Structure 1
Amino acid sequence: MRIHQLSVYVEDQAEALAFYTDTLGFVKRHDIPLGADRWLTVVAPDVQDGPEVLLEPNRHPAARRYQQALAAEGIPVVSFAVDDVAAEFDRLTARGVEFTQDPLTMGPATTAVFDDTCGNLVQIVHMD
């Protein structure tokens, strides 16, 4: 068993796609119209056949409550691995990304948390 896809609820799919591709550097994998919404996924640029992040509309009341509750408690909805948290923090800060947690080392892990502008907090992590 391996990870195929995970969902990140977003307020606006077009804005989410722009943020996840233009700002973070992911690559669009699927963009399939589904009425008012889209089956919209992104992947890591160096593993384009790897796990996909589905940028899923938060239209369902339960999805919206879940998203809002996690954000209010400061809980990231997803964690992305990076080679160097401090360097990624600097790169993303220069692109206007707002961090809610600066790089922090806790044992073998260094993490930082940012606002994805789509209603979520996202963690970046490097494990030593």
Structure 2
Amino acid sequence: MSDVLTQEQRKLNMSHIRAKNTGPEVKLRKLLFAKGFRGYRIHFDLLGKPDIVFTKKKIAIFIDGCFWHKCPVCFQEPETRKEFWMKKIQSNIDRDKKVNEQLKSEGWTIIRIWEHDVRKKPDDAIKKITETLEKTSKK
């Protein structure tokens, strides 16, 4: 199916996609806060720009968009400008790997959560985070 929007309309839509305070990010933060977790930072100046950071425990949480990071479950290839988008998405994936390696080498624990998991299974996402927080408390 071809794009139903004009090039100008698509460009406007894409320009409104936010990098901070996305729906899944805000939802996850609210759930963490409701569970009693208050010691996290947002928009912390760290390599890769994690969405949520527990600085004392050195835990960086990334909420990866299913399109932008090529989710193995729900990614759909773009219909238009495939070469451009696939190159862009692959560079995101490559950058994610480098960020993970660098932060791990600096002693950080990395948690990556897919956008669809926050939307469809938020309890599983919170469980993943809380289990990691508990593990780091025991060290």
* TM-score between both structures, scaled by the size of structure 2: 0.30
Give the helix-richer structure, 1 or 2: 2
